Structure 1
Amino acid sequence: MALSKRSLSLHGHRTSVALEPEFWAVIDRSVARRDMSLAGLVAEIDESRDPDDALSSALRVFALREALAETPGGS
């Protein structure tokens, strides 16, 4: 599966993150539900992640948790 790259400003610096489109779809729904910007949500995730974990990994875990929460009976 091809990755989709998005560029954004994170803590005053430009950065790019490449994820599979399915992860971006969940993140986009989360952004809309929270009525915030993509950069704002990514900044929150970045601030809460373990410094040893890659940002892309933290975004995937966030998306997985969000998708599970969207599913009836999900955790």
Structure 2
Amino acid sequence: MAPTTTKTATPKAATTGAGVKKAGRPKGTGKNTKAKTAMIKMQAYFKENRSKFKHLGFKDQQKELGKEWKTSSENPKNQA
């Protein structure tokens, strides 16, 4: 009878990608960067001014704050 051999699985090295730099654009220079910063500014504006409309429900607060935001000087679209 021939001797039987068994293969043992050798563990593969874990590839976590740590320290590996991806090719492409540097972080923060994507085409949606302006949109993201505008959204952050809008959210901050809403948070600061929500107390003006605390007598309204959330949905109505959002509507009123949106109207104010469109004409606000903090809105990047209104800054020439």
TM-score (norm 1): 0.31
* The structure with more radius of gyration: 2
Please state which structure has a larger fraction of its residues in helix: 1
TM-score (norm 2): 0.30
